[in-house]
């Protein structure tokens, strides 16, 4: 374990040194745009940039009533230096992270495989691969867990016994598959986002919004008579208070999933911004001392981010379980 840690630290410092040396070779006027670099990382894009100048083009899929379906590589929108072409391609051009139509009167639908969508597929494939193997191990006659099963079984039992079961109650098994999927989707997405040149999947508000909407739908479609009674006609309070409480309860129905969406989005995105800011300090100050110091801070923060990845998956799953548990709780 110690040797792996030392190997990681030495590799990180070596990469930081070469990056710093490369930056020193540039002229005084050629300043690094740290803000642009950070925003480029946390935002979605039509190409997967591994490093500066090395971009894997992704498929662009567009549909308009005028031209029908257009499928082409995102590289068609750029020149050899990966600068957006003014003339575009097939009537479309790239502008600051978005594809627009040269003909402003033409509307179209964008179904492109962007960087975040590619990592979404990667995340889903990883989950399917791992848990098919875990399920296959459970189906075998080997009594002692081994391999992937021995690693993930304690996590699965923790989610079941410490998150889902206490908060949902006796009907927890009905919602357990969703809760396990939710936990591992967020956890793997957070971990993948910490890899070099990775996409900010769980820091994309569209992704966190869909997860929150799923919890919102399951909660309210599962709600029993007692749940809706507490919202529209709160028991054991005067009628005047019921009129005051009613709008608060209705607002609460929507603020619960909203808080889920914002919490995950802000926590992951803020972590990426702070981590990249520490790395960017090397190029801002052009100092070996600052470079080493910022690298140490970046390594420490990256370790903390691993903990945050698990905590955010835990928190999202726990609150989803609490909301569903309140919706199906029997009157007492």
How does pLDDT run across 111-124, given as a tens digit for each residue? 999 999 999 999 99
Q: Which of 63, 85, 113 is the last residue of a domain?
A: 113
Q: Note whether 96 and 132 are same-domain residues.
A: no
Q: Note whether 199 and 251 are same-domain residues.
A: yes
Q: Quote the pTM value.
A: 0.83
Residue 31 within any structural domain of the chain: no
pLDDT in tens, 37-92: 788 778 888 888 887 778 888 999 999 988 889 999 988 888 877 788 888 888 89
pLDDT in tens, 285-301: 877 788 888 888 888 88
Q: Which residues constitute the domain of residue 170?
A: 115-328
pLDDT in tens, 203-248: 999 999 999 999 999 999 999 898 898 888 888 888 888 888 889 9
- Number of folded domains that form the chain: 2
pLDDT in tens, 180-200: 999 999 999 999 988 877 888
Q: Note whether 94 and 243 are same-domain residues.
A: no
Residue with tokens 């995102």: 74
Q: Note whether 91 and 236 are same-domain residues.
A: no
Task: Determine contact, residues 86/93, Cβ cutoff 8 Å.
Answer: yes
The token pair that represents 245 in the structure block:
């409480």
Q: Note whether 87 and 130 are same-domain residues.
A: no
Q: Note whether 159 and 307 are same-domain residues.
A: yes
Average pLDDT estimate for 137-158: 79
Q: Note whether 246 and 300 are same-domain residues.
A: yes
Residue 283 within any structural domain of the chain: yes
What is the signed CA dihedral for 133, 139, 143, 147, rounded to 10 degrees? 0
Q: Measured between alpha carbons, how far is residue 76 from residues 86, 94, 250 in Å?
A: 12, 10, 49
Residue 100 within any structural domain of the chain: yes
- Compute and round to an integer the Cα radius of gyration of the chain: 24
């Amino acid at each position: 374990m110690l040797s792996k840690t030392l190997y990681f630290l030495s590799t990180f410092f070596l990469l930081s040194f070469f990056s710093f040396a490369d930056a020193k070779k540039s002229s005084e006027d050629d300043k690094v745009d740290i803000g642009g670099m950070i925003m480029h990382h946390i935002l979605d894009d039509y190409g997967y940039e591994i490093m500066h100048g090395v971009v894997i083009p992704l498929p662009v899929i567009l549909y308009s009533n005028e031209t029908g379906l257009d499928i082409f590589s995102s590289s068609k929108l750029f020149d050899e230096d990966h600068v957006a072409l003014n003339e575009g391609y097939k009537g479309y051009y790239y502008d600051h992270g978005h594809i627009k139509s040269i003909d402003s009167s033409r509307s179209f639908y964008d179904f492109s495989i962007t960087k975040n969508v590619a990592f979404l597929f990667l995340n889903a494939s990883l989950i399917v691969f791992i848990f098919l193997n875990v399920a296959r191990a459970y189906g075998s006659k080997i009594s002692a867990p081994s391999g992937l099963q021995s690693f993930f079984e304690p996590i699965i039992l923790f989610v079941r016994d410490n998150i889902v079961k206490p908060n949902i109650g006796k009907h927890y098994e009905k919602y357990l598959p969703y809760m396990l999927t939710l936990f591992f989707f967020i956890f793997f997405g957070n971990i993948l986002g910490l890899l070099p040149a990775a996409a900010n999947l769980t820091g994309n508000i569209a992704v966190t919004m869909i997860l929150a909407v799923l919890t919102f739908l399951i909660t309210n479609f599962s709600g029993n008579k007692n749940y809706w009674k507490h919202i529209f006609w709160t028991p054991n309070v005067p009628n005047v208070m019921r009129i005051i409480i009613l709008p608060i309860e209705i607002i609460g129905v929507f603020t619960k999933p909203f808080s889920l969406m914002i919490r995950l989005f802000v926590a992951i995105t803020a972590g990426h911004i702070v981590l990249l800011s520490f790395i960017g300090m090397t190029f801002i100050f052009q100092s070996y001392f600052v470079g080493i110091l910022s690298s140490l801070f970046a390594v420490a923060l990256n370790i903390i981010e691993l903990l945050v990845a698990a905590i955010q998956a835990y928190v999202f799953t726990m609150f989803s379980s609490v909301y569903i548990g309140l919706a199906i709780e029997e009157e007492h």
